[in-house]
Amino acid sequence: MAKHNVADKSPLERPSLASLDQKLAFAKRCSHEGVVAGAKAAAFASIATTVPTLASVRMLPWAKANLNHTAQALIISIVTGAAFFVVADKTVLAAARKNSFNEPSN
């Protein structure tokens, strides 16, 4: 089996510095879009989780007896963190998938 080395490639096959910079800029933009979308989803999820959690602790006898402040905070933070990571991951993958077919022309 022949091992391929980067030095064995012809100059036409090696990625240029400009294309690497373009890929890096695209990766930064995709990750930034993911962070922004994840933060929006986390903010919404925290509000959407806080209201029913606090309402159930005040109204339901079982929740009042079994969910202390730590449990309430844990429920809210887990949902918030999960929403952030799921939405951020989906956004980054969607952007990468959308632009993977668009080959940059030099």
Distance CA 81, CA 78 (A): 5
Higher pLDDT, 26 or 72: 72
Q: Reply yes or no on whether the pLDDT at 68 is more than 80.
A: yes
Q: Reply yes or no on whether the pLDDT at 99 is more than 80.
A: no
Distance CA 44, CA 86 (A): 13
Task: Answer left, alpha or beta for residue 11, where phi above 0 means left and psi between -120 and 50 means alpha.
Answer: alpha
Q: Reply yes or no on whether the pLDDT at 8 is more than 70.
A: no
Per the structure block, which two tokens stand in for 15? Answer: 């990625």
- pTM exceeds 0.85: no
- SS3 assignment for the chain: CCCCCHHHCCCCCCCCHHHHHHHHHHHHHHHHHHHHHHHHHHHHHHHHHHHHHHHHHHHCHHHHHHCCHHHHHHHHHHHHHHHHHHHHHHHHHHHHHHHHCCCCCC
Q: Reply yes or no on whether the pLDDT at 24 is more than 60.
A: yes
Amino acid (1-letter code) at residue 28: K
pLDDT at 20: 81
